Amino acid sequence: RRSRSKQSSVSSIADDQITDLVSKLQHLIPELRRRRFDKVSTSKVLQETCNYIRSLHREVEDLSDRLSQLLASTDSDSDQAAIIRSLLMQ
Amino acid sequence: MNNPHHLNPTSLKSRFTTRFLRALTKIRAQKPISSSSPTEIFRRYRRIKVAADKSMAYSVRSRRIWSRAMLWKLRSRSYRRQDPCSGRRSGKTNQAIMKKSSNENTTTRREDGVGFVEEADELRQLVPGGETMNLCNLLDETAHYIKCLTTQVQEMKKIADFYSF
């Protein structure tokens, strides 16, 4: 708290920017989205962000694994055009 | 909100899906798919994962620090495999990325006991190119990176579900 009085007006603008960015991030994380109106510390937001990114990375790995098994068992090429079409139309 | 980096969900989604499906088709065509040795399955898994990350990075192109860092990483991986003498070239490119991200914003890391320096550093390890980012860039890039990752996961899930008939 002591150091706050030494800060220039420039860095308090940066503080607001950081607060904004942190709350934007808080909104993206499922764990924290329900606590929108609570005061969540920046440290907690960053911590949960790290956890969330790690879980997304794991999901990508699991899905890649699943796809590699599935590619081994499917041989039909004709349904691919149908898949592409229906995915792009969503 | 007038955000120049605003994600257009429809076009990012379809850019990713088109590229990723194309890559999957190539992967399927490469080896006798019926072989299910653990090595083969692992190789295919790696190729699919790299294809997914690559498809997303290419769909974002160089609009973001994280996508530039990821594209650079992917390209230098393939250079290193083909041409062992590309060391000098890679060094220059890395510097260019670092300069670009640190000049944009003069906010420096605060060590006066705000209490999240460690968490920020941990985040820097998870976001591509994070080590070169100041705090503001890191927070901004992270938000975009998370949006793209969730899109990537959603689309991969849809494709896996379709193949699961």
User: d(Cα B15, Cα B19) in Å, to the nearest integer?
Assistant: 6
Of B17, B27, B142, the CB nearest to A25: B142
Contact flag A28-B147 (C-beta cutoff 8 Å)? yes
* Cα–Cα nearest to B135, from A28, A2, A53, A45: A45
10-residue mean pLDDT series, chain A (90 residues): 54 82 92 78 94 97 93 63 65
Contact flag B139-A18 (C-beta cutoff 8 Å)? yes
On the 0-12 / 13-18 / 19+ scale of CB atoms within 10 A, B116 is buried
Q: pLDDT, tens digit, for every residue of B64-93?
A: 999 999 999 998 877 766 655 544 444 445
Length of chain B: 165
Full domain range(s) for residue B76: 12-81+125-163
Rg (CA), chain B: 18
* Cα–Cα nearest to B149, from B60, B63, B62: B60
**How many domains are contained in chain B?**
1
- With CA atoms as reference, the chain A residue closest to B145 would be A53
Helix (H, G, I), strand (E, B) or coil at B152: helix
**Residue B22: inside a domain:** yes
Q: pLDDT, tens digit, for every residue of B127-138?
A: 999 999 999 999
Chain B residues touching A54 at Cβ < 8 A: 126
Reported ipTM exceeds the 0.95 cut: no
Residue A41 phi/psi, 5-degree rounding, is -70, 150
In which residue are the tokens 């959603």 written?
B154
* Residue B59: pLDDT over 90: yes
Both tokens assigned to B144: 């975009």
CA dihedral for B58, B62, B67, B73, sign (positive or negative): positive
Both tokens assigned to B12: 């990012």
* Cα–Cα nearest to B128, from B155, B146, B150: B146
Q: Which of B27, B33, B49 is most worth mutating to test chain A (most A CB atoms within 10 A of its CB)? A: B49
User: d(Cα B124, Cα B138) in Å, to the nearest integer?
Assistant: 7
**Residue B112: inside a domain:** no
Both tokens assigned to B55: 């498809």
b or e along A5-42 (b: 16 or more beta carbons within 10 Å of the residue's beta carbon)? eeeeeeeeebeebbeebbeebbebbebbeeeeeeebeb
Q: Where are the domains of chain A?
A: 15-89
- With CA atoms as reference, the chain B residue closest to A6 would be B112
Chain A residues touching B22 at Cβ < 8 A: none
- With CA atoms as reference, the chain B residue closest to A21 would be B139
* Residue B123: pLDDT over 80: yes
**Residue B109: inside a domain:** no
H helices present in chain B, as ranges: 9-30, 38-60, 65-82, 87-103, 117-126, 135-163
Query: Which residues 34-63 of A are in CB contact (within 8 Å) with B?
Result: 41-43, 46-47, 49-50, 52-54, 56-57, 59-61, 63
